[in-house]
Amino acid sequence: MNIKPILEIEKEIIEDFALFDSWEDKYEYIIDMGKKLPPLEDEHKLNENKIKGCQSTVWLVASYNDGRVFFKADSDAVIVKGLISMLIKVLSGHTPTEIIDARLDFIGEIGMMTHLAQTRSNGLLSMIKQMKNYAIAFQAIGSQKTDHK
């Protein structure tokens, strides 16, 4: 699998956002990304997959395959879904170490830290934290497997 480095994907998003000169354009893009994110299967919409700290409901699931972490997520709020969609685009398919080390500066660069009030970006931060927690857990599994060899 040929996956672009995290920083490169972040750079592409920043470049996309640089084309927008109004908040409407930015949000319409995010809303569009939210709408395009494939809905999570009902079987994953469980309480244990919910992320706390969000005003809306956010579900996040992760799988670990061939040393790489894959995320799927959903939300009942479309802007949040758009933001998750970007996080998935940036982080999904990378190794646990890459995900853990990702600084995700693009969120600030595209103005989402300031455009989302603190309480809501706390939800965004909870999402990132949960994604990184998955990466940490999978990294532990990965190293256990290596130990057994």
Partner 1 sequence: MGILDLRQQFPILNRMVKGKPLVYFDNAATSQKPQRVIDALTHYYTHYNANIHRGIHTLAEEATMAYEATRRTAQEFIGALHEEEIIFTRGTTEGINLVAYTWGRQNIGAGDEIIISGMEHHSNIVPWQILCEEKGVVLKVIPVNDDGELLIDAYKALLNNKTKLVSVVHVSNSLGTVNPVKEIILAAHQVGAKVLIDGAQSAVHLDIDVQKMDCDFFAFSGHKVYGPTGVGVLYGKKELLEAMPVFQGGGEMIKEVTFEKTTYNDLPYKYEAGTPNIADTIALKAALDFIKETGKPTIRAHEEELLAYATAQLQAIPGLTIIGNAKEKVSLVSFIIKDIHPQDVGVLLDNQGIAVRTGHHCTQPLMARFGIPGTIRASFALYNQKEEIDALITGLHKTIKMLS
Q: Using CB under 8 A, which of 27, 89, 125, 126 touches partner 1?
A: 27
* Residue 24 binding partner 1, by CB under 8 A: yes
Q: Which of 9, 13, 37, 54 is catalytic?
A: 54
Q: How far is CA 148 from the centre of its chain?
A: 31
How many angstroms separate the CA atoms of 48 and 66, rounded? 25
Q: Using CB under 8 A, which of 7, 14, 77, 125 touches partner 1?
A: 77
Q: Name the nearest CA neighbour of 77 among 124, 130, 23, 42.
A: 124
CB closer to partner 1, 80 vs 99: 80
Active-site residue flag, 9: no
* CB 27 to partner 1: min, Å: 6
Q: Which residues contact 29 (CB under 8 A, 6 or more apart)?
A: 16, 17, 20, 82
* Residue 21 binding partner 1, by CB under 8 A: no
Q: Which residues are catalytic?
A: 54
